[in-house]
Amino acid sequence: MELSLDRLTKQYGRKAAVDRVSAELGTGVHGLLGANGAGKTSLMRMLCAILEPTSGEVFLNGKEITGMGAAYRNLLGYLPQDFGYYPNYTAMEFLLYIAALKGIPKKIAKKRAVELLELVGLTEVTDKKIKTYSGGMKQRIGIAQALLNSPEILILDEPTAGLDPKERVRFRNLLADYAGDKIVILSTHIVSDIEMIADDVLLMKSGKILLQGTVPDLTRQMEGKVWELMIQPEDTKIWQAKATITNLRHEGSQIILRILSDTKPDEGAVLCEPTLEDLYLYYFPTKEGVM
């Protein structure tokens, strides 16, 4: 199974939210990584066929997806960034309602809902109203509804927002297990979520795909650009003003800076092993140069 994106574009007035994106997405987890406003959500909504492209097309195994209609939608599971729910429904009532909308027979839907509530760790609150849930619990319900129809194509927009570290680990393990023979597209700006499970990473900026590859392939591009430097505390502000600093830690009476630079920033700087976070911050530096 393969999704092919051919010069996919979404224009809002003069602004191109998605700008002639072409990519091939096969089975496995594809991490769509970019800052807020990079165009990730518009791209995913077009992949779900709920947002019409200004130009360009999406194909599934050679068939254009809008022409497939319900046959394509039946293959989809989708968790939008702002997922809606009925606050007075219990978790079970909500999943059964979504299952009915998806055309899943009631008997199968009940069994699937029970399985998914256990999978996302909500069995003990199945009969409590969603309005009583924490933000992380609501997000887990969103993940469960996206999986109800055992989709062949699972599209998740910022799925780990609101999850605590333990919940994020549970979700990553769930996703890695699910993606064996499915297409999973995961959008986030949380680098560690991508780094841990993505088979393929697409770095998106200003509506374009800047880079695509495996985590090792992409981090290799940062070799020779990541440095550590020991400085005196009083020099910290000077370095913050003139360099992209991705980490700062105290070591005794001194400070160790992790610096992104195409050239050696100082005689005392030493090269470090790059990470995906280094790559991300290289393309999305903060205004202050410090993350």
- Tell me the per-residue pLDDT of 74-119, one tens digit each, with 9 for 90 and over: 999 999 988 888 889 999 999 999 999 989 999 899 999 999 999 8
Residue closest to 16 by CA, chosen among 34, 42, 45, 51: 42
pLDDT for the residue 286: 61
Share above pLDDT 90 across residues of the chain, in percent, rounded to a whole number: 70
Q: One-letter amino acid identity for 206?
A: S
Residue given tokens 């807020």 in the structure block: 36
Domains of the chain are 3-219 (3.40.50.300), 226-283 (no CATH)
pLDDT reading at 55 higher than 90? yes
Which residue is listed with tokens 């997806």? 65
Asked if pLDDT for residue 291 goes beyond 60, the answer is no
Distances (CA, A) of 198 to 173, 194, 222, 223: 11, 5, 18, 21
Which is nearest to 257 in space by CA: 222, 223, 224, 232?
A: 232
Strands laid side by side in the 3-12 sheet: 15-25, 3-12, 55-60, 63-64
Question: How are beta strands 200-205 and 28-33 bridged, if at all?
Answer: parallel
Rounded CA separation 76/147 (Å): 9
Name the residue among 218, 240, 228, 256 with its Cα closest to residue 291: 240
Question: 222 phi and psi, to 5 degrees?
Answer: -95, 0
Structure tokens, 159: 């799925």
Mean pLDDT for the stretch of residues 118-132:
92
Residues 242-283 pLDDT 10s: 899 999 999 989 999 999 999 999 999 999 999 999 999 998
The pTM for the full model equals 0.87
- 139-153 residue pLDDT tens: 889 999 999 999 999
Q: What percent of the chain has pLDDT over 70?
A: 98
According to the model, what pLDDT value does residue 290 have? 39
